[in-house]
Amino acid sequence: MRVVDRREIEFDAGSLAHYLSTLPREAQSLGLPVAPPAEIRFDPAKAQVEIIYVSPEQTFQIPAETLKSMLVSYCIRSKIPIPRIADHSIRVAPDRLILALSTSFGKAPPPPRPPRPAKTGKTWKRVEVGRVG
């Protein structure tokens, strides 16, 4: 029997646009312009994100898996608590990216023991001690 800790962190279009515009180095590593995107669309069927820029007019289709490590890095920099050792996966919903974290702990601790029943049988009697002598 194992104990599993599962967490999900969601990034909607606004938070993803903020991420890309505040961390231009990461955006450039994907081949994106430094300017903030005009629109972000999510495509669950293709497991990708479509990022649209107005000036110059360009559209980029980025696989969600490509964004996974960048979003983990963003969480760490933003002090969003995530486990150090976890399995990471990413899903695309119609209106957001979902970063899923899962940590598995070997064995579950044993359940606490039930309380002991009260002792029955022997009871102590009070004995008066007299003086000798």
Is 84 among the domain residues?
yes
Is 29 among the domain residues?
yes
Q: Are 26 and 67 in contact (CB under 8 A)?
A: no
**Residue 9 banded pLDDT, cuts 50, 70, 90:** very high
Domain count within the chain: 1
49, with CB counted inside 10 A (0-12, 13-18, 19+), is buried
Is 10 among the domain residues?
yes
Is 129 among the domain residues?
no
pTM recorded for the entire structure: 0.71
60, with CB counted inside 10 A (0-12, 13-18, 19+), is middle
Is 96 among the domain residues?
yes
| 93-116 residue pLDDT tens | 999 999 999 988 776 656 777 777
Is 52 among the domain residues?
yes
Domain limits for position 30: 3-105
74 pLDDT more than 70: yes
